[in-house]
Chains A and B, each alone.
Chain A
Amino acid sequence: MIRRISAIAAVTWTELVRLKVFYFIIIFALLVIGNSFFLARFSFEEEFQMLKDIALGAMSIFSALLAILASATLLPKDIEDRTIYTILAKPVSRFEYLLGKLAGVFSLVAFAVFLMGAVFAVVLVLRTQIVLHSTSVELAALPAAELQAALQKIRDAGHDPSLLAAGLVILFKAWLLAAMTVFISTFATSTIFTTITAFAAYFIGHLQATAREYWMAGGDVGPAAKIILALVALVFPDLQAFNLVDGVVTGTPIPPEVLFKTVALGCGYIAVYTALAAAVFQTREL
């Protein structure tokens, strides 16, 4: 079973790479590197803050776009090209096929997030080193203790272990979106419908927590609105739970238990969306 799933995953990976999806990494690199030169005229606190804002924000955008767009094409394209019939004619179950496709997208998204993270880390480390060097030259006349304190401040602003945790949460959010999009594509009739629905779910997912709290609080809400709020709260994922970047860029650390719970919730979503996708796909007429 593992061999069959990994074979499908490898083919999916190759197909997606052939679509030249990694070109966006060049745009990301240009954005981060270009910005780092532009931001050099700010104070180092501002520079690092905005570099993190822009790089992590771009990582979120690109990973979400990649996850949704790559997943939306998986099933419809195979059905359109009729390759799905060749695959399912072999001793491959529909569940294995679906898992293989998802594994292919997951590995592609993981690789993309890793690449973006690496570009960001290199730029951040380089900028930190440049600022450290220029500060040591400028403040050379200061007493050693004061100079060290100033340099430590720069190191603290530049190096933040929570950035790694933020990258992990971005990855799980992208995986969740990929699983959700594949689930949508199992009952959708076209790629466009899948893509539009997935993006709509993406936007609504960021408001799910607000809808949930209004629904739970009761308050001054009519019955029709209450039903809509309940549906939003129950059907859509809480994507704000995976939006920890805003806090991390301000220097707020992610406590391990919060990181663990967030990742566990992500795993729960992925497992349920995959199971539901498998259930729908099992009875789909091909």
Chain B
Amino acid sequence: MNRTATRIAVAAGLIVFGLARLPIERSLETAQKTAFLRAEPLNLGLRDQLGQLSYAAALSGFRSLVAAFLWIEAHTAWEQTAWGRMAGLFRTVTSLQPRSLVYWDLSSWHMAWNAAIAAYQNPKEPSEFLRRRAEREYHLLGKEFLEQGIANNPERYLLHERLGVLLRDKLSDHLGAAEAFEKAASMEGAPPYVKRLGAYELATVEGREQEAYDKLKSIYDLGPDERKPRVLSLLHELEQKLNIPAEQRHVPVDTE
């Protein structure tokens, strides 16, 4: 076979191999996506945030590396209390690594806790109303990070738990917190205290006492390890509130 014929045969071989591997690659892509091992392609909006070099690096399979360096940059911004810059960097990092719980969790924490407090204590803003409003905006930004993180990690409990904490401690949304804790508790790997946290929050919601009581009762029935002082005190409180007959009560009346 002469050189030209060989080259034509090789080019044809390359195309035939390409056609043969198409279904294999597509099925592998689906399997990798199902296992959360293949991220969605980068959108063009990220190019402006990353700069040409980092965008090219991220396109070349180094998303996690670029994300790590940007996270270090965000840490430097934190040391300089540059909250706006931090928020932008967090958005970029979480877009690059949407499966990283650490990045979502800490982005939310920095915004809802650190940035929010800094906004409230801003000495340059004399108006308390405006400081409160800025604080609340950072709380909501923290919540937004967690909600986006949950959308990208629907099968992992941690961000649901963190959302519960944020709703409870920063937004006083006890029903929302109870639902978030409940969702987290239903997921694989969730520690037992998450279920308790959900029941505690539900117990504070007006009109949901019976439901909270049932949940606390089921926790109580799990055994002595789960009968924490707060479980007992809330059970006792709800038994009184719901007028549970003495013989059905979990906490004897004399513990009052």
Query: B14 at the A/B interface (Cβ < 8 Å)?
Result: yes
Give A260-286 interface residues, CB cut-off 8 Å to B: 261-262, 265, 268, 272, 275-276, 279-280, 282-285
Closest to A282 in B: B6
Give complex CA distance A257, B31 in Å: 9
Q: Is the CB of B68 within 8 A of A241?
A: no
Residues of A close to B67: CB separation below 8 A: 53
Residues of A close to B63: CB separation below 8 A: 246
Query: A37 at the A/B interface (Cβ < 8 Å)?
Result: no
- Minimum CB–CB distance for A12 against chain B, Å: 24
Interface residues on A, range: 35 or more
Q: Is the CB of A252 within 8 A of B37?
A: yes
Q: Is the CB of A207 within 8 A of B1?
A: no
Q: Is the CB of A49 within 8 A of B102?
A: yes
Stretch in A20-28, A55-63, A86-94, A100-108 with 4+ CB within 8 Å of B: A55-63
Stretch in A74-82, A118-126, A131-139, A231-239 with 4+ CB within 8 Å of B: A231-239
Interface SS of chain B: helix
Give complex CA distance A284, B7 in Å: 10
Query: A7 at the A/B interface (Cβ < 8 Å)?
Result: no
Q: Is the CB of B68 within 8 A of A50?
A: yes
Residues of A close to B103: CB separation below 8 A: 49
Give B32-54 interface residues, CB cut-off 8 Å to A: 32, 35-39, 41
Number of A-B contacts (CB under 8 A): 152
- Minimum CB–CB distance for B99 against chain A, Å: 4
Residues of B close to A60: CB separation below 8 A: 61-62, 65
Chain B interface, number of residues (Cβ within 8 angstroms): 51
A212-B26 in contact given A258-B31, A279-B10 (Cβ < 8 Å): yes
Give complex CA distance A261, B35 in Å: 13
- Minimum CB–CB distance for B85 against chain A, Å: 18
Q: Is the CB of B3 within 8 A of A209?
A: no
B65 partner, pick from A57, A233, A247, A257, beta carbons under 8 A: A57
Closest to B29 in A: A209
A250-B101 in contact given A209-B25, A265-B24 (Cβ < 8 Å): yes
User: A33-52, CB under 8 A of B: which get 1 and which 0?
Assistant: 00000000011011001101
Give complex CA distance A243, B60 in Å: 9
Residues of B close to A54: CB separation below 8 A: 65, 68
Can you list 21 A-B pairs, Cβ within 8 angstroms, ordered by A?
Answer: A45-B102, A56-B64, A57-B68, A58-B65, A209-B25, A233-B22, A235-B14, A241-B29, A243-B38, A244-B32, A245-B61, A250-B101, A251-B101, A252-B36, A254-B35, A257-B31, A258-B32, A258-B35, A261-B27, A268-B21, A276-B14
The 8 closest A-B pairs by CB, nearest first: A234-B18, A57-B65, A53-B68, A247-B37, A250-B99, A243-B61, A250-B100, A53-B64
Residues of A with Cβ closer than 8 Å to B? 42-43, 45-46, 49-50, 52-54, 56-58, 60-61, 149, 187, 202-203, 206-207, 209-210, 212, 216, 233-235, 238-241, 243-255, 257-258, 261-262, 265, 268, 272, 275-276, 279-280, 282-285
